Structures are given as structure tokens and as C-alpha cells.
Structure 1
Amino acid sequence: MADNLIDYARWRGDLDFAERPFNDVDALVLATLSYIDLVGIVPNEAAGGTVGVGAALGELLERSGGDVTPYVRSLATIDAGYLKAVAESRRFGRLRIGRYVDVMDHDRAVQFAAVEVLLPPGSVMGCEGGVRYVSFRGTDLTLAGWREDFMLSFEVTGAQRLAANYLSRALEASATAGEPLMAGGHSKGGNLVSYAVAAMPKTLADHLLRCYSFDGPGLDGRVVERDARDAIGDRFVRYQPAYSVIGQLFDRADEPRTYVASTGSGMLQHDPLTWRVLPSGFVLTGGLDPDAAAFDAALDEWMGPVDMGERERFTNEFFDILSAGGPELTDVTSREGLPKVMTAANGASDQTKRLVWKLVECVVAKQAERTSDVVRRAYEGVVQSARNAASGLAVSLPRRQSHAE
């Protein structure tokens, strides 16, 4: 029987790591912990110390009154049921967590958060002592965070620099303690892992046991020359859902990765809570979904080679429009925010307007494939309008990189 991370936490909940050693699904569970707002619950780097994962999540559940939505900094469907299953399990609830960092700077478009989890001795096969795991947060619900994702196409971002500094400090501490370290992140968190590993001092590389990118964008070779695989080889592990869009961005086609089955539809497979798992690991699929491959090919066609200045101009224009609705992603689609966004778009370049319509076409068309004929007919007018508006589009975003570029 295959299900999701909630079921995994329940299946493996009564088995600690001494009984069943750490595996890649465990790495994803720990990667999701950085999506939780743990301010005032988990000690920060300056304060030092740790708390139990079960105690930390238990306090958050008590504070939230059962509705953890305000504490989840992600579009992932992390809910009280998932956090309760993790908190109450022997496997995860007894782990220690600390070194929490949470940075948000709307003016500079910097969104960064990380936390460190301590695994007890004997948890990881081949390691007699303890092991540390750094979890980097992916993109949250702020437009500053989403703007920063686009900034990856033309510069090294503030979050990447913070991630590199955080990982170096964590590696130095782990080396002093004689404990190897792992790192992982979902979405932008996976990108931060790759950048931080590539940027770390070479003298610290031997202390890295394994690093994970869960559907994280790659690193554009025209912005940075090296990624994590260049630094640590096959100790850098990539997982993507069958319908991967985010994980295909800035992709190096020759870089190995493993595809996971998902219960989600289309781009909703990016949500790690839709990934299918067994008690022993992920449910694997043969490769990239043909629809996702077609989407990826379309992105390659749109994302023609342009200079860094043009990428920056496009990003600023696009997100200035979205910001008219408010600082959060949910503001953009709200009843109050959407008219403001549409008004702001009136003065935008035709290229930016067409990007919006082209994305609407792709998303709506994908959903229409999975609806009844009645609903599909209702969508047809919208899809056709979007297609007409986007005719001849060449979008100024970075195209896929070959490893040789």
C-alpha cells in the first residue's frame, strides 16, 4: 500500500532510527520542518541549545488551536494532522532541533529560513555517532520570496548567500563535534542546498554526508559556475515528481535525478505531501510525465537567451504588478487584490501581459483535461483568449543549461 508523508509518519512512527536506519523519505520529512514558523519555540543560533521536535510541534499545535495555516510558510498542504503525526512518533518526535533562523526583508526581496535537526548515534547506516541535518526552507507565500526565485536567473540572491554562510557555520560546528552533516530542502530550499554546497570551503566538504534537493530549481550556469554535484558528486541527490516544473528550471539535463509518483494533478505535484511513499521508501516512476516534458519544452522555447539586464527588468516589472495586490501571494488572487493587479498590468509591456496570459492558458488547459465535458466547454473560451493573447510570445526568462555551458 502506498500513501503520503502522513501515513509514513504513522507507519514508521513506532520505529526509531536504530531499528530502521535513516532513508530518503526521512530526509523529506525533515526538509518540511523548515516550512513551519518556529519563532519563539525553537532556539535561534545566538541563543544556542535545542528542543525536542515533539515538544516544539506540540507547542505550536497548542498555540494554533488546531488551525496551523498561519504558521505554515508554504503552499504545501502541511496541516495539523501531519504535524501531529510527526510530533507523536518515536521516530521524529524524539529528535532535537535548534539553530533556527528566519529572515524576511521585503525591501531587498530576501526570504530565508533554516533549522538544524540532530539525529542520535546509529541513526544513519555506516555512522556510529550522531548526524546533523540542516533543513532549508523553500519559497513561502510572500511575493518577496517569489520575486527572489526569479532573481535566480540574473544574480546570486540574498537567500543563497545566507544559506552558504549558514551551512559553513553548521559544518564547522559539526566538524568540531565529530558528527557528519546532511542538508536538504524542498523547492527553493533545494536550490539553496545546491548553492551553499557549491560555495562552501573545500576543507569542509569531507564533513558532508549527503545532500538533497526535492524538486528544487538548479543553478543557472551563466550566474554561477558550479553546483552541488560539482562539489560533492553523487552525494548530492535530486528527487522530482513525475510532473515537475519547478525542479526542471535551470536544469542540467545530464545530472541524475529520481522521479517520484504523486497523487497530485499537474503542477500540484510540487507539493511534497502529494508524493507517494511506502514504508521503505518513495514510490518511483519511470521518468518525467509527457505533459510535463511538453511544458518544459515550451518553457525552453519561450525562454530565449537574453542578457542579465533584460532578465532583471522583466522580473521587476512583473512583480511590481503583482505587488499592487498586496505583499502576499494570496493577496494577488483575492477579491480586493486582483482588480488592483489588473489595473497595474495596464501599463505593462506587451511581453509581460502576454506572459500572464500564456501562464493562464497552460494552467487552465491542464486543469480542463481533468474535468467533465461540461466544465471543459466552459473553459474553452478562456483558453482560446489566452492563446490568442500569447501568440508569438518569446518570454525573457533563462533557458535550461547544459552542463557544459
Structure 2
Amino acid sequence: MGKILDYVRWRGDLTLDREPFNSLDAGLFAAFAYLPFDSSVKGHTLEAATKRLIQKKTLIHSDKVEAQLINLSDRYKNMRFLDWSHLSQKKPPVQFTAMTIELDPQTILVAYRGTDGSMVGLNEDVDMSYQPEIFGQSVAADYLDKIAQTYPDKQIYTTGHSKGGNFAAYAISAVSPKIQDQIIKAYSFDGPGFMKETYDQLEFQRAIPKMITYVPEGSIFGMMLDHPERVIVVKSKMKHLMQQHNPLHWEVARNSFVMAPCLSNASRIIRSTFISWNTKIPREKREELWLAFFTALESQKITDARQLTTNKIRGAIQFSHAYLSLDPKTRLIANEIVSDITTTARQYINLPFLNHTEHLEPLGNDSSKGPIVDDSYDGS
């Protein structure tokens, strides 16, 4: 068993006419969307763009390895950037990056970047917990609409990781039926899902057959909301749940992911806790808390999550200052919510989740029910 970058090493000599595009390619490009390109890549091949990227001294080692493998791969190096787009703003919060790549003369791929660690991006993420639709989703849909109209004769894949996966799925639901006909498939890798009032809409229902979501067996972020689309649970070599979020750490065999029997105990507890959060705590209370929380972080000049995590002592102090700057009413709401979540988590820890062979709920899972389950194979 290997990981996605091992797949590139094993199968990178096979062009798409010999080995058709599959879920591992989609996962690779979902990760590729995080690499620090800019609009200057338009018109360049992946070989040329990654060659220039590799020369950057600030490029971290893992990104450099990924770029080098793509640069040397016959499968990817002659693919071409058609577009690259970026938007970041505080109000309404949106952190958006997308790229369009020509896979072959008939097919293009739109890849959406997930959250980059900025407070703007994290603010956008938590907005999903109380808003059926967020501004970034409409930006993603507009981007897909623009690309599809620019290339009306091409078929399209969309892909993305985390929030990017949510954008990849949402975008195909929000474009016209004519453009939906151009879509082959929308891939989401550990994306957080959607609220029921969003996926109950006719336009979304029409697009569901073209959506597919992959989550690791220890998924956290993929458990946030509902998944009306088909969901595949994948094995991961990583023990730490946060590390499992990265699709480059998921297990693969030849040209598909390795399926897990079901979600891990920890992930199912997290899913049940999210269900409680989404159903028991009023949206108005969640919105009030998050708005106050991010305002407090901004008052402490915290603009990136790494300011809280790189130096844990300093981060804890900054976080404490932000918390103490909340007004008493908001602090009371925060304490009540934390207490509710803790109580719920303890309740579910005692549930009979130890039998990993049981099917917990049917695949169509809304938040009044239990955790999602997997299909038994990877249909790519």
C-alpha cells in the first residue's frame, strides 16, 4: 500500500489515453491547488510552472516533492494551465483560489483550494455552521460558470479538498442545466458537506448524481454537515485525526483508494457531536458567538492560525486575551456551548460503536440521524 505521491511514482509514465483520469488524479489536483502559484502560470504547461516553482527558496519540502513529481511525470507535465484566480476579503469573508487545467484536448479540470490558515479563511469555514450558503460558494459557482462559457465544447471535472471540496460540489449545483451537462464529476476530499435546506433545493438534487465525496476513516471536517451525495470512507496511515485530513496521507493501491470498513470510533463520536451542535444550539446563538470571537481575535492582531499554533505558549496567551476581551454575555454563551458540546461528546463516547462491521445509517444522512457510512468500492 502507498499514498497518492507513490501513485504518481508508480503510474506517472501512463498518459490519460493509457490510464483514464481517476479519483487519485482528482485527489492529487485537490492538493496541487494549495501550491503557491499565481496568475502568471496561465498558458504554461505544468512542467514549466512547477519547474519555476521548485526554484523558490521559500517552498516547503513537501510541496517541493509534489511539484517535482508532477514536473517529471509524463502523465501530468504536458497538461496546461488555462486560468488561475484568487480573491481574499474580510467582508463578507472569502478566501478563494481556483485553477483551471487542460487535461487533454476534450477535458478540463477546475480545482478549488481549501482553507489556507488565514483568519479570513477560518471565518468563512465557521460561517458554514450557521449559514446555508456562504459568499465563497457563489464565487466558486461564478468561476465555474465563467470557465464553462469560455470552453463550451469541453467536458469538466471539479475537485477540491476541505472547503475546496465543498466549493467543487456546490459550484456544479448552482450553474445552469446546460453547464451541468458539461460536468463529468465533482470530487470532494473531506469537504464539510451542506445544510439540509441547501441540498433539498431542486437545482442541488439534479447535480447530486455527479458528486462524490471521499473522507478518511478518522474524518473531522467531513463530519461537520450533511452529505446527500455518495460518500466513500478511505483508510489512512496517519494515527492523528488532524493529519488524516490531508488526502496525500490516504492509502492507495494501483489506481484507487483503499476502502475502510467504516468511520473510526473517534470520527463517529465527532459526527454525533456535530449533529448535536447543529440541531440543539440555535443558529442565532452560533452566529453571535462566532462574530464576537473573530472580532476579538482581530483586536489581538491575530490574522493567521499559525500565530496561535507555532508558539503554543504565546498562542495560548493571545487566545486567552481574545477570550477575555469578549463581553460577559458572549462569554456566557461560549461557556454554555462548550458545556453542551462536552456533555454530548461524553454521552456518545459510551455508545456501542465498537463493532466496526455494523452499518449505522443509510447513505442519505441528514443531521437528525447518525453518522455516514461508506460504499464498498471506489467507483472513481
Q: TM-score scaled to structure 1, two decimals?
A: 0.77
Q: Give the drift of 1:102.
A: 0.9
Q: Which amino acid aligns with 1:56?
A: A
> Any idea what SS the aligned residue of 1:240 has?
strand
Q: Which amino acid aligns with 1:326?
A: I
Matched, 1:238 2:207: no
Q: Which amino acid aligns with 2:44?
A: V
Equivalent in the alignment of 1:163:
140
Equivalent in the alignment of 1:297:
272
> Any idea what SS the aligned residue of 1:111 has?
strand
Q: How does 1:5-404 map to 2 (within 5 A)?
A: 5-43=4-42, 50-62=43-55, 64-65=56-57, 67-69=58-60, 78-121=62-105, 130-155=106-131, 156-175=133-152, 178-222=153-197, 225-226=200-201, 230-252=205-227, 255-265=229-239, 266-323=241-298, 324=300, 326-333=302-309, 334=311, 335-348=313-326, 349-353=331-335, 400=367
Q: Which amino acid aligns with 2:136?
A: A
Q: Give the drift of 1:116.
A: 0.4
Residues 58, 139 of structure 1: CA spacing in aligned structure 2 closer, same or farther, 3 A cutoff? same
Q: Give the drift of 1:351.
A: 3.7
Which segments of 5 or more consecutive residues in structure 2 lack a partner in the other structure? 346-365, 370-380
Q: Give the drift of 1:82.
A: 1.7
Verify the 8 A CA contact 2:39 2:84 in the aligned structure 1.
no
Q: Which amino acid aligns with 1:311?
A: R
> Any idea what SS the aligned residue of 2:302 has?
coil
Residues 22, 227 of structure 1: CA spacing in aligned structure 2 closer, same or farther, 3 A cutoff? farther
- Once residues 247 and 91 of structure 2 are traced to their aligned partners in structure 1, the CA distance between those partners, rounded to angstroms, is 30
Residues 354, 332 of structure 1: CA spacing in aligned structure 2 closer, same or farther, 3 A cutoff? farther
- Once residues 52 and 344 of structure 2 are traced to their aligned partners in structure 1, the CA distance between those partners, rounded to angstroms, is 41
Sequence identity (%): 26
> Any idea what SS the aligned residue of 1:29 has?
helix
Q: Which amino acid aligns with 2:94?
A: V
CA deviation digits over 1:111-154, x for unaligned, max 9? 00100010114xxxxxxxx2011001111110110110111233
Q: Is the deviation greater in 259-268 or in 161-170?
A: 259-268
> Any idea what SS the aligned residue of 1:304 has?
helix
Residues 233, 301 of structure 1: CA spacing in aligned structure 2 closer, same or farther, 3 A cutoff? closer
Number of aligned residues? 341
Q: Give the drift of 1:346.
A: 1.9
> Any idea what SS the aligned residue of 1:7 has?
helix
Q: TM-score scaled to structure 2, two decimals?
A: 0.82
> Any idea what SS the aligned residue of 2:290 has?
helix
- Once residues 203 and 192 of structure 2 are traced to their aligned partners in structure 1, the CA distance between those partners, rounded to angstroms, is 12
- Once residues 135 and 280 of structure 2 are traced to their aligned partners in structure 1, the CA distance between those partners, rounded to angstroms, is 24
Q: Give the drift of 1:216.
A: 0.4
Q: Which amino acid aligns with 1:139?
A: T
- Once residues 120 and 401 of structure 1 are traced to their aligned partners in structure 2, the CA distance between those partners, rounded to angstroms, is 43
CA deviation digits over 1:219-250, x for unaligned, max 9? 11245643886122422111111111211211
What is the root-mean-square deviation in Å for CA atoms of aligned residues? 2.7
Residues 287, 108 of structure 1: CA spacing in aligned structure 2 closer, same or farther, 3 A cutoff? same
- Once residues 87 and 116 of structure 2 are traced to their aligned partners in structure 1, the CA distance between those partners, rounded to angstroms, is 12
Residues 227, 35 of structure 1: CA spacing in aligned structure 2 closer, same or farther, 3 A cutoff? farther
CA deviation digits over 1:257-279, x for unaligned, max 9? 11111112223211111111122
Q: Which amino acid aligns with 1:194?
A: A
Residues 359, 14 of structure 1: CA spacing in aligned structure 2 closer, same or farther, 3 A cutoff? farther
Verify the 8 A CA contact 1:250 1:401 in the aligned structure 2.
no
Verify the 8 A CA contact 1:51 1:96 in the aligned structure 2.
yes
Provide runs of 4+ in structure 1 moved above 4 Å.
353-363
- Once residues 267 and 362 of structure 1 are traced to their aligned partners in structure 2, the CA distance between those partners, rounded to angstroms, is 21
